[in-house]
Structure 1
């Protein structure tokens, strides 16, 4: 057995009787874990704070919750006022957002309080994504609109005014099927896919349209690679279109044609492609389809390197950094999940006055924030501890891995020192 993977594939389908979602190793394709109980709705599988796995029950009004390392039992069900159409946890683990019909429900994770119900969409919300710094989230709906929300404006004290979206992106002419937020926090770019056969790329900070790409088919899913060289678009015909964002001939609007400039097609799925995800290093593309398969592609060669069969149409497929707790059977979440309330400012018996907001940091963020070096050291010692236990693999392999990690830590230390020297030179330079 090899060392725990750095990234894992998570996928779910609407037909499996045995389990809800499965964790695969991207390099071997072997199934590592599966979580039991119910089926996940599309765009609703999310990892909360590296400790819990959440997913909306297909066609029902509740959210399933598992502790990451206790896969056999559902820990709790969060009951919602209606069928949950999409679900997303903020990357910092502090907030949870769900689409219920045309409204967005936002909870504070540490207290379980429902902070806000946002009703600015005119029809069902189809997708929700947070920015990587958790400062904003974007919602897309069947009303053809994508809305950008600033989290701080939504978590506000004034109950008399309904929060307004920061931007309303209204250039699609048919329902939005999927959206993706790039990196860089509030400076991110956002891609939206629609039944109007276009994918549009927007600037989050201004809400401006940067690029519109027209296809011959409806587009059901969209994602960038981490460097944003490409946007990948999943068609209703099973094709995946790769569009270069760096080509010389890029105008505001373009029609897709495959060419030598990085505009290519991945062929293999036999039905609509509903989910797309790219690995951290930008080399692998993961796709899930209604043809009941999940495929892993090598982006460089456009070859399908793995095909994982499922029991029904695939509802979620994501590549994600492997949370440490996933492979440590004895670990437990540092913070138990509270009961999530169903009403904004629940009755006084819940404690707290209406309009009151708790600022309650999670337990492990109350100490002083660790530096990157401390994190690297902690990671190194954690990996050593794990490999010492011989949880994974033979001794020889682990020694090599430890050597690699130690080298990595040294490199990080050197980079940190160089950065420090450089910035101190800048700061002390006489003007």
Structure 2
């Protein structure tokens, strides 16, 4: 039988025999099970299509499996505290985890801890990278959601404090962010500007939210077990509205008996997967709003996501192209340790850092200004032009003298006998 293109990966908090399970999207049959503990909510992640990661429920470490070796727990990443959320960048270069109110960011190729971000005032509850891995979004119990620029977070200037922007939630394909809250609202934001595009008020708490791939609909999981479909293409759509079921795309999926904790839509936008505390994962046909499959679990569902099946998931003899290193527990490793390890680290974002202008660069810039004197619109006519030229010539001579003195001093220092 041919390997499936899409699979459902789920986990629950009550199973004693396995941690996570892979199901066929269309038949519902169980394909793989990964053993070892239980996964916390919003901590299931696939890294480079080669590793499955999840944070251990109530513990301070992250489990790592090679994605095709279901029975072997490859390693554990020890963290400073209980991991509340976890995500991997789509390009496979970075791993981010929420621990209490802080966000820990690792570089995957070296295992180095690049940054510890402490801008939330209470526990971080969700993390998500953008599709191009340039930003990631964090949401917390402090009612804040922050968008972080990856380049500003990992830059080498340790004295610089990265500044987040106030946004929130899960990422859409068109640079929009959806946030769900216990204040009974779901909000849609524009990622780049932080502008509020839509606010939908419900009559209950919303526990989960997601877009379909084309962003025609917004799906919201309620605390009563219902799933609400909000049309984003309605002609009567205003920025602030209350949810009402109608024939214009706003519908309700009924079937769960407890709060809906996770939602995911298939790549073609026809199927919706939902996980609930009623210990089931349901697969819905979006057009008919009918539940076409129910996958029973042993405890409240913590993770359920539809994903493209990695190429080597069903190839037992395959191995990751590059093994994972040991992940650091400390933010700044010593220079001695870095030298002994023999690692070469290429860091993103260095080209964005501003360098101080050298004396020669200043001289060239001033010379360019002098050449622009012929343009009367720059400095004017007559005596004003002559005075300005004289000032510039004097400054150039001063800079040349400083540069020569620095060169002579350096030469004497380097040639001085030891």
* Whole-angstrom CA distance in 1 between matches of 2:289 and 2:386: 35
Secondary structure in structure 1 of the residue aligned to 2:221: strand
What does residue range 274-313 of structure 1 map to in structure 2 within 5 Å?
Answer: 274-313=261-300
Gapped regions of structure 2 (runs ≥ 5) = none
1:51 Cα offset (Å):
0.4
Match of 1:172 in 2: none
CA contact (8 A) 2:127 2:169 kept: no
CA contact (8 A) 2:145 2:168 kept: no
1:394 Cα offset (Å):
89
1:207–1:270 Cα change, 3 Å: same
1:77–1:183 Cα change, 3 Å: closer
TM-score, length-normalised on structure 2?
0.80
Secondary structure in structure 2 of the residue aligned to 1:110: coil
Match of 1:54 in 2: 53
Aligned length: 417
CA contact (8 A) 1:3 1:392 kept: no
State which drifts further: 404-413 or 58-67. Answer: 404-413
1:158 Cα offset (Å):
0.6
Gapped regions of structure 1 (runs ≥ 5) = 166-178
TM-score, length-normalised on structure 1?
0.78
* Whole-angstrom CA distance in 1 between matches of 2:370 and 2:12: 33
1:322–1:157 Cα change, 3 Å: same
1:392–1:263 Cα change, 3 Å: farther
1:408 Cα offset (Å):
67
* Whole-angstrom CA distance in 1 between matches of 2:28 and 2:381: 20
Give the CA RMSD over aligned residues: 19.6
1:396–1:160 Cα change, 3 Å: closer
Match of 1:170 in 2: none
Match of 2:385 in 1: 398
1:207 Cα offset (Å):
1.1
CA contact (8 A) 1:128 1:140 kept: yes
Q: Structure 1, residues 291-332: CA drift from partner, whole Å, max 9, x if none?
A: 000000000000000000000000000000000110111110
Larger of the two Rg values belongs to structure = 2
Q: Which runs of 4+ in 1 moved over 4 A?
A: 179-187, 352-357, 360-431
CA contact (8 A) 2:14 2:300 kept: yes
CA contact (8 A) 1:296 1:307 kept: yes
CA contact (8 A) 1:134 1:185 kept: no
* Whole-angstrom CA distance in 1 between matches of 2:153 and 2:365: 35
1:292–1:153 Cα change, 3 Å: same
State which drifts further: 311-320 or 394-403. Answer: 394-403
Q: Structure 1, residues 151-170: CA drift from partner, whole Å, max 9, x if none?
A: 111111110122111xxxxx
